[in-house]
Amino acid sequence: MQHERAQRGEEVDDVPQPVIAAPWVRRESTISLTQVLLGANVAVFVAMILASGSVEFPGQIMVHFGANSGPYTITGEWWRLLTYMFLHSGLLHILFNMWCLWDLGRLSESLYGRWTFGAIYVTTGLAGGLASIGWNVQVLSVGASGAIFGLAGALIASFYLGEFSLPRIAISGTLRSLVIFAVFNLFLGGFFGGGGIDNACHIGGLVSGLILGALIARTAAQPEHAARRVVIFLLAALLLAGCAAGLAHHYGLPLRLGPSPLER
């Protein structure tokens, strides 16, 4: 607008040109939430090494640390839907997931802002955990990949719907990379499904991320729409609670919170 005024002769030639930060850049602190999440995952992994004396963990160690084990989760220990996101079954598992979290987490946090990024991460991780035990109640699920797929889904929806004021060439390249990431990893999960890859968790995270990303892009795209974003995540939390109650009912169990009877 200032440049156009200058072309019309309404501005003097030496008028100061303000440099405005890009709207998707948030300057909140030197330590990002992505770094905090990565550090928490690594800290838990180190604790598991100290407890087991190995970098590849047996099932009982993972259950002890809070793995999403269907029989324990649906009989009262619903907190496992949160803790499983910070556990990993071995060295290669955590290395790959932390690499993906570092890339997708930094991008998501810079575009959405810290609290929205954190809410997407947790919400889609919970959705992935529910999808996992809904598909196979006997599964033992660990890892940040459900939440990572959720970030990918939210970014795909937001880029596709044009939420971010980025150059079209940057959006198309990033969108293409995200779609390839999701499709390739889902294909690997389907092809090697018997090798400990929990594709139900990945799909649950991806689909919930697509939905959240689309809702944010269409109804709460701007940072000043914080109240609308809060409403979106509250509705998502109610929907997840309803899914948990539905799972318990499906398996003929009352919805309860507390130590699982299997612990006794």
- Rounded distance between C-alpha atoms, residue 196 and residue 257, angstroms: 28
> Quick one: how far is CA 229 from the chain centroid?
16
Active-site residue, from 88, 158, 202, 208? 202
Cα–Cα dist 209/112, whole Å: 13
Could you tell me where the DSSP H helices lie in 53-144? 59-65, 70-73, 80-83, 91-112, 114-135
Number of residues assigned to the chain? 264
Surface-to-core class of residue 119, CB atoms within 10 Å of its CB (0-12 exposed, 13-18 middle, 19+ buried): buried
Catalytic residue among 89, 132, 145, 158: 145
CA distances from 200 to 112, 133, 134, 137 (A): 26, 8, 8, 11
How many angstroms separate the CA atoms of 103 and 97, rounded? Answer: 10
**Residue 64 annotated among the catalytic residues of the structure:** no
Handedness of CA 154, 158, 163, 168 (dihedral sign): positive
Identity of residue 173: G
Report the distance separating Cα 63 and Cα 78, nearest Å. Answer: 13
Q: Is 52 an annotated catalytic residue?
A: no
The catalytic residues are 145, 202
